[in-house]
A = this chain, B = another copy of it.
C-alpha cells in the first residue's frame, strides 16, 4: 500500500524547512517500511511567479489526488502590493480550506520544559508551564459568510461582512473539541462574544447541547476579550479552547506567541473524512529565508501530525515526535531559541534535520 502526499512548500523559509521534513519522512519510511510518494506543487507567491495565480488548477488537482497536503508557508513583501484576494495567503489558504471543507483547525501550543525563558510571560507565570490546544472552526463564520462587499457612494459608501453559523457547523467542531479534551485534561473553554453577537448566542446553545454527550469533560464559556486577558495571567488553567473562525485566528496566535517559540508549533486543518492540510504555525519569515537558520522543527512536526491523522501511522508519528523531543532536550537548537551569549552553538536548519532524521 502506497500513500500520496502533495507537497506545497511555498515561499520564504518554506522550501528550506520542507527539505528537512522530507529527510525525516524518508527516515521513518525506511524504519517502518512505509511507501510514500511525494509530488511537489506550486503555491502562494511561487505559484504567482510561475503560473500567475496563488493556487493553480494543477495544484488543486494534485491535492485532490493525494491522501494529505504537507504545506510550508506562503507570502512575503514581493506580493504585498497585490489586491487582498490575489495575495498568497488569502488567495491560497482560504480557497484550499473552502475547497476541501477543512472545517477543523487544531493548533497546539505547549511551553516546552527548558524553554520557559522564551515565553514573553513573567517568570512566575511561565514557570507553571501551559499546554493549550485551540480548536478553531475554519470554513464558516465571518470569513466565508455572504453577503460581503461594498455599496453606496461618497462618504456614505459602506463595506459589509456577514458572520454566519448553523447549528450543524457549530456541533461538528464542538464535538471535536470535546473528543480532544477527553484525551487530555478534560476541560473545554468555549470562546465567544455572547453578550453582543447573535452567532455567539447560538454557539453557546449548541455547545451546551453537545457537552451533554461528554459528561466527563468540564465546560466553561468565556468572552473573547476576557479570554485574551486571562491567557496572560493563568495560561496553565486552559486545556482545549473552542473557537469560531475569527476568534480562533486571534486565540491561536496569542497562545503561539505565549510559548515564545513559534518555530516549534504546527497545525492541522482537517475535513470530516480525515483528509488534512498540515503546516507550521510560524509563517514564511521572508526576513530570514535563504540563510539556512530557520527552525525546521514545526515543519517536521507537521509531517508527524500528517502521519498520525491522515495516514493513521501512529508509530511513525511518535517516532518523529520522540526524536524531536530528544534533540531539543539535548540542547540541539536553532539560534532564535538561544540566548544571545549561546548563539555560537546554534544549529543550522540542515543540522537540525540531519540530527532528527538520524535519531529516527
Contacts and interface: CB of A to CB of B under 8 A. Distances in A.
Interface stretch (A34-42, A43-51, A143-151, A327-335): A143-151
Interface stretch (A57-65, A197-205, A298-306, A315-323): A197-205
Nearest to A246: B193
A189 interface: no
How many of these chains are in the complex?
2
Contact of A123 (B123, B193, B250): B123
A349 interface: no
Contacts of A308: none
Nearest to A161: B163
A340 B89 CA distance: 48
Given A120-B122, A123-B123, A159 B164 contact: yes
A167 B161 contact: no
B256 A229 contact: yes
Contacts of A142: 142, 163, 196-197
B122 A119 contact: yes
Contact of A249 (B120, B225, B253): B225
Interface size class of A (residues with CB under 8 A): 35 or more
A195 B165 contact: no
Interface string A142-176: 11010011101011111111111111100100000
A120 B123 contact: no
Contacts of A226: 253
A122 B166 CA distance: 41
Residue from A148, A152, A253 whose CB has the most chain B CB atoms within 10 Å: A253
A27 interface: no
Given A89-B195, A250-B225, A167 B163 contact: no
Nearest to A225: B253
Interface in A117-135: 119-123, 125-126
Residue from A87, A142, A193, A253 whose CB has the most chain B CB atoms within 10 Å: A142
B194 A150 contact: no
A143 B164 CA distance: 14
Which 5 A-B pairs have CB atoms at the shortest separation, nearest pair first?
A159-B202, A229-B257, A225-B253, A155-B168, A158-B166
Interface of A: 84, 87, 89-90, 94, 119-123, 125-126, 142-143, 145, 148-150, 152, 154-168, 171, 193-199, 201-203, 224-226, 228-229, 232-233, 246, 249-250, 252-254, 256-258
Given A87-B195, A160-B199, 12 more contacts: A84-B201, A89-B195, A142-B142, A142-B196, A154-B167, A157-B166, A158-B164, A159-B199, A193-B246, A228-B250, A229-B257, A250-B250
6 contacts: A122-B123, A148-B197, A159-B201, A160-B198, A229-B257, A232-B232
